[in-house]
Copies of this chain bind each other. A is one copy, B any other.
């Protein structure tokens, strides 16, 4: 049984706890938190919740630490720091900063003989895998990633910071006509606006200027100004009833040609439809935790990503079982 610990007990930490419960080859041995441990109630019986300051004392009692934190400020600090003490895995998802994060984590992990796996989840993660597989196979082609329909936490937060907004949720939606055009093999050039729309549901404070709020949302640079955005003002009750979930999903599609004169078209499509983004993301994390420990047992150290992992390493089945039953 691999001894797994969690650092950070929010949506992701809770998801890891569920995924470890479903893994016959793993057991949860500790949860570390930056909050007061007595304020954190976990679901697994008999597992201690400890202040993160105690983590170094667990150096020899944990096979792998799953770091559950935000990509903006938490993971760039935490993952290199804890890669010095443990084998670690994170879901760092700021695409533009992956090379920098990789370098920092790689140095810390290698210097201490650990394996570290970063940017594990579905994008980056499973979507990245599919982009690489499809582009390697259909060399002459074009790929498209669509997200949604699903909740963007960052965009919801940005709306909540507007004066007069009590609560808000933002959904990213792929444009059906754009998806159809891609699937038809037309290889369209699509602008940001043509690929996705944004739907916002806002609970406004009493007496707030709704027209001003709507305008501030729609013109917000980077977040909304490049998109067609719909703003809906709703009651607190409707918000709770219909907009409490964390569903998400998306599509990776590659359209490519083969043949001596590029006469044949092919479409590779990968899609996810997820009721719970954090629980799915952490299910991916836990499968890659298994792979990381297998690679470590073979002597691999340093930082790795999903692109470095043989698919068989994710499975609880042996190579022989996989060849006989899944290949």
Contacts and interface: CB of A to CB of B under 8 A. Distances in A.
Given A43-B260, A266-B275, A309-B310, A22 B322 contact: no
Interface in A108-148: 119, 124, 126, 128-129, 131-133, 135-140
A90 interface: no
A280 interface: yes
A187 interface: no
B319 A137 contact: no
A308 B315 contact: no
Contacts of A132: 311-312, 314-315, 322, 326
Nearest to A131: B326
Contact of A327 (B95, B264, B270, B324): B95
A83 interface: no
Of all A-B residue pairs in the complex, the 5 with the closest CB atoms, nearest first, are A136-B314, A264-B275, A307-B312, A258-B279, A264-B276
B319 A307 contact: yes
B283 A272 contact: no
A283 B138 contact: yes
Report copies per complex: 2
Contacts of A283: 137-139, 258
Contacts of A267: 271-274
22 contacts: A22-B140, A22-B258, A98-B327, A102-B323, A126-B133, A132-B314, A135-B315, A135-B326, A136-B316, A137-B287, A258-B279, A258-B280, A258-B283, A264-B276, A264-B279, A266-B275, A267-B271, A269-B269, A269-B270, A307-B311, A307-B322, A309-B311
Contacts of A270: 269-270
Interface in A248-289: 258-260, 264-276, 279-280, 283-284, 287
A14 B272 CA distance: 35
A15 interface: yes
A300 to B, nearest CB: 11
A321 B270 CA distance: 22
A68 interface: no
A237 interface: no
B15 A258 contact: yes
A221 interface: no
Nearest to A268: B272
With a 10 A CB-CB cut-off, give which of A102, A310, A314 has the most chain B CB atoms.
Answer: A310
A6 interface: no
Interface in A14-32: 15, 17-19, 21-23
A94 B162 CA distance: 61
A306 interface: yes
A136 B315 contact: yes
Contacts of A287: 136-137
A298 interface: no
A99 interface: yes
